[in-house]
């Protein structure tokens, strides 16, 4: 289904908030740009797409999002280079994954043109909201939820697709200590762990809070059956460096097909770093830590790109990661961010110019 940009209704705000924003002090995901893209799905088809001022949403109490949780989202960023040009990073992977999520939750798939043309037009309107300081970007949150009414347990008949944006500064999470989860699971075989469904994240909050109460910042999730294998680090894919080999676990029903994860694997291969995609036992992690072969442990995702882990806890014992110079994590993060911000050639064809 094709649309033309001239068919996107643009309603600009009468009073921009941009001059009230301190771009040198941006907390992640807490300040929002002037406009958002909105498109409704009704009567079996997508309606006229619009760009409107950022505003509250009004829903009836019987809207099915409140009762049956049909809600999905994506996370991506727009970057501005030194000349002021605007770029996206692997956006087609985002629309592909969003439609995989939509299909799993019995929601309508979003036409590629609505997603991409709508996003590009929104970014042209919001260009001034894209920070240019090093490490900063405009975080983009495409999401869709059920607006159809009814208390009966069935898919809704109408939905709302929105793209909202939040300027963010350099994301420095610092090194974190994590707890390997022995009881709770993030997802299960045959479930929706591979989808970016809101409920996946809601279910993580309680076990994560239990870990924080013990002095950790995050959880390393393990498999739902035996809890013998590590799977993800909080809301991020996980990477393990043992000696000079970089390992990560395969995607599955339970594990998100992370775009940063795929990028890390491709860049590592180009850099001559040995990679392995396979199951990783908790016992292997413990053994590697004890014999000194465990060199790095980090999470990978859109917000931080790479989040280094300084240590982990398991069965009431803590294990520390060594302090290294010239880590794989630092190298890979620089390679990715240089591509994202047009600081280097993009041999992979990931960078998409918007304007």
pLDDT in tens, 149-204: 999 999 999 999 999 999 998 776 667 999 999 999 999 999 999 999 999 999 99
pLDDT at 58: 97
**Are 72 and 198 spatial neighbours (Cβ–Cβ below 8 Å)?**
yes
Radius of gyration of the chain (CA): 21
Measured between alpha carbons, how far is residue 35 from residues 16, 67, 346 in Å? 9, 28, 30
What residue ranges do the domains of the chain occupy?
5-168, 176-340
- Could you tell me which CATH number the domain at 5-168 has? 3.30.470.10
* Tokens representing residue 308 in the block: 């280094």
* Tokens representing residue 43 in the block: 């009567």
pLDDT at 323: 93
Q: How many CA atoms lie within 13 A of 11 on its CB side?
A: 10
pLDDT at 2: 47
What whole-number distance in Å separates Cα of residue 244 and Cα of residue 57? 50
pLDDT at 221: 97
pLDDT at 335: 98
Strands (E), the chain: 9-10, 35-42, 45-46, 50-53, 71-73, 76-80, 86-89, 137-146, 159-168, 176-180, 218-222, 230-233, 236-242, 245-248, 274-277, 294-301, 305-314, 317-320, 351-353
Question: Considering the entire predicted model, what is its pTM?
Answer: 0.95
Residue 83: which residues within 8 A CB-CB, separation 6 or more? none
Residue 338 main-chain phi, psi, to 5 deg: -65, -40
Residue 160: which residues within 8 A CB-CB, separation 6 or more? 38, 39, 40, 41, 57, 144, 145, 147
* Tokens representing residue 156 in the block: 């809704």
pLDDT at 355: 94
What whole-number distance in Å separates Cα of residue 131 and Cα of residue 34? 14
Residue 268 three-state SS: helix
**Are 87 and 81 spatial neighbours (Cβ–Cβ below 8 Å)?**
yes
Question: Mean pLDDT for the chain?
Answer: 95
pLDDT at 172: 62
pLDDT at 3: 53
Report which of 145, 22, 17, 131 is spatially closest to residue 77, judged by C-alpha positions: 131
Residue 101: which residues within 8 A CB-CB, separation 6 or more? 72, 107, 195, 196, 197
DSSP letter string, 198-249: HHHHHHHHHHHHHHHHTT-SEEEEE-TTTS-BEEEETTEEEEEEETTEEEEP
Report which of 306, 324, 232 is spatially closest to residue 268, judged by C-alpha positions: 306
What whole-number distance in Å separates Cα of residue 12 and Cα of residue 118? 15
**Are 92 and 99 spatial neighbours (Cβ–Cβ below 8 Å)?**
no
What whole-number distance in Å separates Cα of residue 234 and Cα of residue 178? 9
Residue 46 main-chain phi, psi, to 5 deg: -80, 140
What whole-number distance in Å separates Cα of residue 204 and Cα of residue 168? 24
What whole-number distance in Å separates Cα of residue 231 and Cα of residue 126? 37
| Below-70 pLDDT ranges, the chain | 1-6, 172-174
- Could you tell me which CATH number the domain at 176-340 has? 3.20.10.10
């Amino acid at each position: 289904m094709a649309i033309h940009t001239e068919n996107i209704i643009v309603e600009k705000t009468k009073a921009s908030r941009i001059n009230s924003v301190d771009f040198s002090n941006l907390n992640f995901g807490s300040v929002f740009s002037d406009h958002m893209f909105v498109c409704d799905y009704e009567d079996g088809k997508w309606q006229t797409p619009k760009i409107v001022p950022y505003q509250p949403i009004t829903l009836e109490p019987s809207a099915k999002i409140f009762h049956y949780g049909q809600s999905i989202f994506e996370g991506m960023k727009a970057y501005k280079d030194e000349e002021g040009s605007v770029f996206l990073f692997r956006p087609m992977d985002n629309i592909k994954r969003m439609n995989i999520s939509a299909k799993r939750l019995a929601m309508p798939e979003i036409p590629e043109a609505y997603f991409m043309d709508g996003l590009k037009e929104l970014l042209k309107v919001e260009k001034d909201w894209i920070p240019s300081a090093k490490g900063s970007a405009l975080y983009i949150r495409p999401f869709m939820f059920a607006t159809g009414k009814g208390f009966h347990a069935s898919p809704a008949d109408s939905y709302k697709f929105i793209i909202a944006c939040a300027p963010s500064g350099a994301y420095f999470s610092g090194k974190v200590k994590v707890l390997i989860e022995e009881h709770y699971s993030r997802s299960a075989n045959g479930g929706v762990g591979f989808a970016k469904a809101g409920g996946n994240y809601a279910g993580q909050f309680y076990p994560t809070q239990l870990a924080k109460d013990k002095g950790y910042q995050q959880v390393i999730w393990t498999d739902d059956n035996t809890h013998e294998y590590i799977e993800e680090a909080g809301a991020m894919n996980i990477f393990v460096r043992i000696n000079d080999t970089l390992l990560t676990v395969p995607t599955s029903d339970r594990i998100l097909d992370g775009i940063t994860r795929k990028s890390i694997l491709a860049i590592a291969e180009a850099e001559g770093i040995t990679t392995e995609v396979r199951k990783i036992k908790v016992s292997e992690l413990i053994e590697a830590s004890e014999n000194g072969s465990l060199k790095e442990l980090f999470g990978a995702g859109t917000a931080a790109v790479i989040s280094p882990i300084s240590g982990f806890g398991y069965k009431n014992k803590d294990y520390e990661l060594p302090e290294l110079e010239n880590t794989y994590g630092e190298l890979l993060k620089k390679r990715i961010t240089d591509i994202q911000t047009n600081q280097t050639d993009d041999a992979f064809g990931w960078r998409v110019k918007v304007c």
